[in-house]
Structure 1
Amino acid sequence: MDAYESPKEVDFHFDVMCPWAYQTSIWMRDVRDQLDLKVNWKFFSLEEINLREGKKHPWEREWSYGWSMMRIGVILRRLDMSLLDKWYALAGKALHVDGNRPHNPDVARHLLEQIGADPAIVEESINDLSTHEEIKAEHDRVVNTGGFGVPTLFFPDGQAFFGPVLLDPPTGDAALRLWNAVTAWLEFPNLYEMQRPKTASDDKAIYDTFKPYLEARDWVSINRGKVVGFEPDA
């Protein structure tokens, strides 16, 4: 891209399990609604990218936390992208705000009913092995680009960004300013990274925001092979 041009479409890769991607998705929807931006929700598996040696791949288990929620998402997306949008918004809120467990099949059925979908989609997703292939293909797309986590955004010109990584997603004019700041990077394909160091107060704010998720999760968070703890230093 020779000069900055705001894109009209973006692929947003997510895993329902990821608290950071959930925060960014709130901002993404705000931008979408203001700009009539087309957002294509795509998948990425934290379980697979952080798989420990000797453990089964998520597609080798009948039910796997984030992977199975995405399998439900595949069925919904085949019906209509808006259903996946609603599913991600509701399941994400259930986990990251309300401290519930959307990765529990019974909770997943209840959430499907709330978005007007058939709760039998849980069983349909389990029985439809092709859902594995869709998720793997989208996961591999991120990995093959050098990506390692979510949120990852893909733009029409082929460029991809990890982030933005947000704790308090902006809305309104502030959301648009951030969108402009993010997409301005498209003009500079050799600009790779800019990062803000986290202070002790930042760590506490992260812990406080993620507390519902931390209490609801039934797994250990792993990042690039290392167990991640969110508890702030005393």
Structure 2
Amino acid sequence: MARTVDFWFDPSCPYTWVTSRWMVEAATVRPLDIRWHVLSLSVLNEHREVDPEGDTQGYLWGPVRVCVAVEQRYGQSGLERFFTAYGRRVHEGGEWVPFGEVLADAGLPTELAAAAETAEYDEAVRASHAAGIRLVGEHVGTPIVVTDDGAGNRFAFFGPVISRIPRGEEAGRLWDGVVLVATVSGFHELKGRPPVQPQF
């Protein structure tokens, strides 16, 4: 029986993109059913004196607004397709292309690109963000992963933050290890070496 994994992401974070591709890879070697949810770095950082993302123009609102607009009309399938197309263009391809082109890549109506320029979807963005953050806390960012321990007990964690996508059984072993650590009562944080640039 597949284990449900809820994955909260801001599509603009390159490390989150790497982690999301690891999750997709892990699902090929472990029985995982991934559900995608929007988390917003813009919402997370809006009351901070200094935005750690350096997004003074508010660009990061655009991708999450389009994500929510897509999800509302085309559900999980549409959201996954848009996120995948966005990650391939922006993170892997290094192309900051118009949202309409990404939507076309995903087989979705290009008019949904207009969502990026309106606050119409901000309430839904905030609600999705809040649903993920309340599970871990505002001391974290993107991604947040929620699953169960096999006995029906749900648990959540931030990360893992990785710079390379594990493949095949390596992806499965990382999943097993992360779940093992995250389910230990009292577990809070584990860090490795300083980050390197994401490898796509």
**Structure 1 gaps, min length 5:** 1-5, 56-62, 213-234
Q: Is the 8 A contact 1:14 1:43 kept in 2?
A: yes
Deviations 1:22-61 (A, max 9, x none): 1101101111233342111111111222234499xxxxxx
Question: 1:7 Cα shift?
Answer: 7.0
Which secondary structure state, in structure 1, belongs to the residue aligned with residue 66 of structure 2? helix
Q: How many residues in Structure 1 have an aligned counterpart in Structure 2?
A: 187
- TM-score when scaled to structure 2? 0.81
Q: Which has the larger radius of gyration?
A: 1
1:66 aligns with 2:60: yes
Name the residue aligned to 1:149: 141
Name the residue aligned to 2:179: 183
CA RMSD of aligned residues (A): 2.6
**Quick one: distance in 2 between partners of 1:125 and 1:65?**
9
Name the residue aligned to 1:137: 127
- Identify which of 3, 8, 29 aligns with 1:34: 29
Q: Is the 8 A contact 1:152 1:163 kept in 2?
A: yes
1:120 aligns with 2:116: no
**Structure 2 gaps, min length 5:** 52-56
1:110 aligns with 2:101: yes
**Quick one: distance in 2 between partners of 1:142 and 1:177?**
25
Name the residue aligned to 2:54: none
**Quick one: distance in 2 between partners of 1:162 and 1:139?**
13
Are the structure 2 counterparts of residues 54 and 173 from structure 1 closer, same or farther at C-alpha, using a change threshold of 3 Å?
closer
Are the structure 2 counterparts of residues 124 and 140 from structure 1 closer, same or farther at C-alpha, using a change threshold of 3 Å?
closer
Question: 1:88 Cα shift?
Answer: 0.9
Are the structure 2 counterparts of residues 7 and 162 from structure 1 closer, same or farther at C-alpha, using a change threshold of 3 Å?
farther
Name the residue aligned to 1:196: 192
